[in-house]
Amino acid sequence: MLRRFINREFKWICSVDRIRFFSTIRHHRRLEGKVALITGGASGLGRASANEFIQHGAQVIIADIDGQLGPDVAKDLGPQAHFVSCDVADEAQVAEAVDTAVTRHGKLDIMYNNAGITGPVFPPGISDLDLNEFDRVMRINVRGTIVGIKHAARVMIPMGSGSILCTASMSGLLGGLGPHPYSISKFTIPGIVKSVAGELCHHGIRINCISPFAIPTPLVLAQFAVFFPGASQEQLVETVRSLGEFKGAHCEEIDVARAALFLASDEAKYISGHNLVVDGGFTSFKNLKFPSPDV
């Protein structure tokens, strides 16, 4: 009798523990049942964010101009990922990517406008600026972001909910940290977010952006390779990381992905119009270098 009682109580305790365990797992899957579209999702910050979103239960549409890399990335990420070829400079392609998400999953909960380019590194001077190159950067980084917001809003407004994210940069917080076209485009992103937030909040849609520190993504490494010709991949990575101010840590793709996860999730349900800066304090201060006193 005592043994049966102990066995029954043990099974009950184990069943309760299992319920708590799986409940905890569900709780930590912060995007369970959500559908996300990430532009520039085949590499760098986009791929890291796609992986993070999938780990937390989302279905992810990876929209990227790279038709060779994109399908392989979607395959690597598993059945929750799907690739669509998309050039954000072409509004029709962005609209089609959004429609693909809705057709496959019946809705779009998260739109992450992440695609972007740095543009030419040289010449650095404003007097030598190639306005054709300037227009190309603005078309992708700024117009492409606005197009993404436009078509996400088109399908989110009838739903009465949604989260839109945009990738900005620390180069859009301080002058002199990047080429003029890139910096100007990234200064524009927080302004777009604030301009649109006032309208979208009346439809239950949040919009925010993320301004990361320099991270050794393929895009950044290609830019630094122009400054340091002949440097190895390891040397370029170390050069990018050496620019930070925060002791004991480097800014990594996962840091931005987790920031995107937070802003996309219901944990940020009352955050909109915000620029989340992920830079280890770099743009928060400037160290003064005092001259040595004459003695």
Alpha-helical regions (H) of the chain: 2-28, 44-55, 69-77, 91-105, 131-138, 144-159, 180-200, 218-227, 233-241, 253-264
The CB density around residue 258, as the number of other CB atoms within 10 Å, is 15
Which of the residues are catalytic?
A: 182
Could you tell me if 97 and 37 are in contact, meaning their C-beta atoms sit under 8 angstroms apart? yes
Closest CA to 113 of 98, 124, 134: 98
What angle do helix axes 144-159 and 91-105 make, rounded to 10 degrees? 30
Which tokens sit at 104?
């496959």
The H or E element that residue 275 is part of is: strand 275-278
Q: How far apart are CA 123 and CA 233, in angstroms?
A: 24
CA distance 196 to 190: 10
Nearest by Cα to 124 from 223, 222, 266: 223
CB 165 within 8 A of CB 210: yes
